[in-house]
Amino acid sequence: TMEQTAIDDAKPRQRGGDRPVEPAVELLDICKSFGKVDVLKGVSATVVPGETVCLIGASGSGKSTLLRCINLLSPPTSGTIRVHGQVITAPKVDLNAVRSRIGMVFQHFNLFPHKSALDNITVALRRVRRMSRQEAEERALAQLEKVGLRSLASSRPGSLSGGQQQRVAIARSLAMEPDIMLFDEATSALDPELVKGVLDVMRDLATSSGMTMVVVTHEMNFAREVSDRVLFMDSGVIAEEGPARQLLADPQTPRLRSFLSQVL
Ligand code: ADP
Ligand code: MG
């Protein structure tokens, strides 16, 4: 019946599949205030497993704050977050366990300057995951291979380009085998000629590895070509959302039209 169809349509689906699936991330009425400043004003969104969602919007609209809520780097003031069904905003949740399932890549990659690319990746594997040196190095090399940097494993960050450093940071995050990856303007600090290499790694992760990803970006071509859905944030709310191509080609709200006219 039409009613049943409407109900089914409201349920998240795995890409290409028919059965409703448990969302990878569910945000329910997330609010975040800093003192008297309300930064997030009731954000609800769902990301299904394998989906890539881009978060776009003007500077100051709350994109980073929302991303930092998702891995509890900065917990919401109110609202509920579920990750693969588990309420992570409940009291007594193991923060380290949550964060180790959710990788995050920042604009500034914060590699240890005196360690090689390889050692930057093995540190957490050895300390947090208690891996042996050999096991950690094997895993780190496999991740460096994936981002095209295996041959530079012994290089220190200072001798790598910004784009290569960011790819090491991505490899470091992936080495922890997260279920979900968050990217906060991962290419914004890079010289223009270095952006593509990093976006290619992200594209590959989204398409070949089927990683669940939430990507804050100003790269509208990446959003259009790689993401399944785009969320447009404006003043702490999701002002518009939809399939990437449709939303970018045919914005419905004046606010999104105005934003796109400035960035496209
Ligand atoms: P975006 O990533 O979209 O540029 P942010 O999430 O960084 O936006 O910031 C949204 C708003 O929240 C801004 O007005 C910013 O000044 C404010 N804000 C972010 N973090 C803090 C903080 N730790 N303390 C106070 N205000 C903050
Ligand atoms: Mg930001």
| 123-173 per-position pLDDT tens digit | 999 998 999 999 999 999 999 999 999 999 999 999 999 999 999 999 999
Q: Pick from 49, 48, 72, 67: which is nearest to 57 by CA?
A: 67
pTM summary value: 0.92
Q: Pick from 72, 77, 110: which is nearest to 92 by CA?
A: 72
For residue 66, the ligand closest to its alpha carbon is 1
Instruction: Give the CA diameter of the chain.
Output: 64
Amino acid identity, position 141: L
Sequence-separated (6 or more) residues with CB below 8 Å from residue 16: none
Helix (H) or strand (E) holding 25: strand 25-34
228 is written with which tokens?
């399944």
Q: Is the predicted ipTM greater than 0.90, yes or no? A: yes
pLDDT at residue 196 tops 50: yes
Which of 34, 59, 73, when mutated, tests ligand 1's pocket best, judged by the most ligand atoms within 8 Å of its CB? 34
pLDDT at residue 15 tops 80: no
Query: In this predicted structure, what is the pLDDT of residue 7?
Result: 46
Q: Rounded to whole angstroms, what are the CA distances from 107 to 111, 169, 186, 206?
A: 12, 10, 4, 19
For ion ligand 2, residues whose CB falls within 5 Å: 63-64
Q: What is the mean pLDDT of residues 31-58?
A: 97
Q: Pick from 237, 228, 221, 217: which is nearest to 105 by CA?
A: 217
